[in-house]
Amino acid sequence: MYQIVKARTLAEKIFLMDVKAPRVAKACQPGEFVIVRMDEKGERIPLTICDFDREAGTVTIVVQVVGASTRRMAGLKEGDSFKDFVGPLGRPSDFVKEDPEIVKERKYLFVAGGVGTAPVYPQVKWMKEHGIHADVIVGAKTKDLLILENEMKEVAGNLYITTDDGSYGSKGMVTEVIRELVENQGKHYDICVAIGPMIMMKFVCLLTKELGLPTIVSMNPVMVDGTGMCGACRLSVGGQVKFACVDGPEFDGHLVDFDEAMKRQQIYKTEEGRAMLRMAEGDTHHGGCGNCG
């Protein structure tokens, strides 16, 4: 069993938990994810890693209530436990595998939307720990849905906050802040990392492509099973079949077919839709088939 040593509410229907999982904490890196299961009958839920403490042996996850299983999970308190806590899974962010001195030569812009702030945080924290300055844009619908602001302030070089309704920070979408920084303030960035809702990542990539700014996105929103066997996170990336859970979750955002991915998400929600996808995609429907990379 994996005990919850801290649990708190970040915003409406968004909860943070520190889970005692020493082996996962020892090995995990920014960009990776875990699969959690509450009990023997519980659903397997993939969640990106928000933070980790190797010394304490804890891994931090952020849960947003979107269905019955996450609603049950949100009711867990300090002292409660998960039956399974598996990871780290997926591939770590590319810069983690590079020489920090080489990474220092680049200027990074991180863009987080909603709960996407959770997986962005460990990446920016890694930058801070290696003496690398990174600018961060955090967007939310309203002030009440903004999460991890104080934590992000501690690690970001410059932090820009925007809300759709203007209730906090600047008013508007994250794309407006990107354009303001690059075109009006003349800031130069070598790489953009954007994580958030699919529609947000799509429009960030449309803008950064126009600006000539290479962009990495995390396709964790499309993951269901987390092992490549369910076929839920099948993507077209540069015309090739990829799976977010085994080939990613991070990809070149300018190569991801977001329209196909969003349409596929809707189809996958029904049993009839899943059957249709299996028939249409054949051997490439499942990531476990060996055709995913």
Structure tokens at 181: 């920084």
* Domains parsed from the chain with CATH numbers: 2-89 (2.40.30.10), 98-218 (3.40.50.80), 219-293 (no CATH)
CA distances from 105 to 28, 96, 170, 240 (A): 25, 14, 30, 31
pLDDT tens digit at each of 293 positions of the chain: 899 999 999 998 899 999 999 999 999 999 999 989 888 877 788 888 999 999 999 999 998 888 777 888 888 899 999 999 988 988 899 899 899 999 999 999 999 999 899 999 999 999 999 999 999 999 999 999 999 999 999 999 999 999 999 999 999 999 999 999 999 999 999 999 999 998 999 999 999 999 999 999 998 766 666 566 666 677 888 988 888 778 878 999 999 988 888 776 665 445 555 555 555 555 665 555 444 44
Burial of 117 (0-12, 13-18, 19+ CB in 10 A): buried
Contact 162, 174 (CB under 8 A): yes
| Helices 258-268, 198-211: crossing angle, 10 deg rounding | 170
Task: Please give the Cα distance from 256 to 238 (Å, whole number).
Answer: 6
For the whole model, what pTM was predicted?
0.87
Both tokens of 194, joined, read: 């954007």
